[in-house]
């Protein structure tokens, strides 16, 4: 059951007021991902909890000061816009759901994620620093991101995950 709208409205407004596009339906989520096919997009899974209010939303607002920014900024509201949140999480298969939650996508692939455990108990400025670093790495003017480890070749996602966690299924995706 969704939270009462009067309770949630000020929390929505914090991100919308700085230009984050609110996605309230599954169709709006699909449209955003369709538009971001060849772009970078930040997705914020907003929440009523204290770490969203004191850490996640302020960090997103602070990160807007960066030189390099994603092409699109979007948000869904967990516990309120249930279908939109569920659909957004379908684009994060293999990454456990949490809220608040922040993901940076490049060409519709998650390249940087901050789960609740990376947000809770940290300052907004520390989280903003993480976001700005991710923006610089994935949203800058560089044509190609160098993820190599000195051998000229970057390990594939499945190689790097499976070599560290052989007990995980091949469908598991981790950005850590």
The answer to whether 139 is a known catalytic residue is no
Residue 128: domain span? 5-142+152-164
> Which tokens sit at 60?
């997103």
The reply to whether 23 falls in a domain is yes
Domain count, the chain: 1
Active-site pick, 8, 36, 44, 49: 49
**157 within domain boundaries:** yes
Among residues 51, 113, 119, 134, the one annotated as catalytic is 51
CATH of the domain at 134: 3.40.30.10
Q: What pTM did the predictor assign?
A: 0.80
Closest CA to 44 of 135, 113, 138, 139: 113
Q: Is 51 a catalytic residue?
A: yes
Query: What are the pLDDT digits (tens) for 136-163?
Result: 999 986 554 444 444 444 334 444 333 4
176 located within any domain: no
Evaluate whether residue 55 is within a structural domain: yes
User: Taking Cα atoms as reference points, which of 93, 95, 91, 98 lies closest to residue 33?
Assistant: 91
| pLDDT 10s digits, 76-129 | 999 999 999 999 999 999 999 999 999 999 999 999 999 999 999 999 999 999
Which tens digits make up the pLDDT trace of 50-69?
A: 999 999 999 999 999 999 99
Q: Is residue 36 part of a domain?
A: yes
């Amino acid at each position: 059951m969704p939270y009462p709208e009067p309770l949630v409205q000020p929390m929505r407004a914090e991100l919308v007021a700085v230009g984050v596009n609110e996605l309230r339906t599954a169709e709006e989520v699909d449209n955003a991902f369709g538009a971001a096919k060849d772009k970078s997009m930040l997705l914020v899974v907003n929440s009523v909890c204290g770490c969203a209010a004191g850490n996640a939303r302020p960090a997103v607002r602070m990160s807007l000061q960066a030189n390099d920014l994603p092409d699109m900024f979007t948000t869904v509201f967990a516990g309120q816009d249930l279908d939109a949140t569920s659909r957004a999480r379908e684009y994060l298969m293999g990454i456990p759901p949490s809220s608040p939650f922040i993901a940076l996508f490049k060409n519709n692939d998650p390249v940087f994620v901050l789960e609740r455990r990376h947000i809770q108990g940290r300052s907004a400025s520390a989280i903003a620093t993480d976001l700005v670093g991710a923006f610089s790495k994935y949203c800058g003017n560089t044509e190609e991101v160098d993820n190599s480890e000195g051998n000229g070749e970057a390990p594939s996602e499945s190689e790097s995950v499976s070599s560290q966690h052989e007990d995980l299924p091949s469908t598991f995706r981790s950005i850590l």
